Amino acid sequence: MATVGDRAAIVTGAAHGIGRVVASHLAHSGWQVILADLDGAAASKAAADMGGAGVACDVSDEADVERLVAVARARAGRIDAVVSNAGIGGFAPLAETTLQRWTQVLATNLTATFLLAKASAADLKAVSGSIVTIASTRAHMSEPNTLAYSASKGGLVALTHALAMTLAPEIRVNCVSPGWIDTGKHGPLKPSDHTQHPVGRVGRPEDVAAAVRYLLSSEASFITGAELIVDGGMTRKMIYT
């Protein structure tokens, strides 16, 4: 069994936001981290801050994903975990959602996890490793005009348990579904943004990172095929207007 310092993880969509914080949390817990992002320069910069490696990768492209896994294997000597976090939005009304955009969102948000699992399965089996996918509470509830994104995240929840059964018993596969996580993209928050949450605040990337770190740990060794919702209780809140 590997010691903490031996373990290596690939994190996709890791140049910014949730992915970067997940990678940082793992690095500070002793993991070797390989940060993958479409923006290779930003991934390398982020990786340098945490002693990892940055790789430019289009996760919707099979050859790129295979290259990412090969680079991670060469860099770390092993792959113990894959965190499939990369995702794009593409929100638009139905009439304005082109087939091209629909396909692009599903390829990045859903197909990428299939490609990552396929490319890394042998490495993960060798060390009884783990996969964590990052879905969304939009897999369970929607706002208007989130068609491709919600479909991709719902598919990701289902793909998670399908992979868990397919790769058992050597590899555990679980999912984290964040709710509203403030990554600074949308400006300052209002007091009402926080108070509408049962826990009294909007989520932070660190909340998702803590959940990922737990699911990758030995403390979660009896958990596979599960979805951990990290949303401050919002999906359990009845709202009448």
Q: Following DSSP, what letter does each residue of the chain receive, concatenated?
A: ---GGG-EEEEES-SSHHHHHHHHHHHHTT-EEEEEESSHHHHHHHHHHTT-EEEE--TT-HHHHHHHHHHHHHHHS---EEEE---------GGG--HHHHHHHHIIIIIHHHHHHHHHHHHHHHTT-EEEEE--GGGT---TT-HHHHHHHHHHHHHHHHHHHHHTTT-EEEEEEE-SB--STT-PPPHHHHHTSTTSS-B-HHHHHHHHHHHHSGGGTT--S-EEEESTTGGG-----
Please return the burial class of 67, using the count of CB atoms within 10 Å of its CB with bins 0-12, 13-18 and 19+: middle
Tell me the CA distances in angstroms from 139 to 135, 181, 229, one per residue in order: 7, 15, 11
Rounded Cα distance, 169 and 102, in Å: 34
Mind telling me the catalytic residues? 149
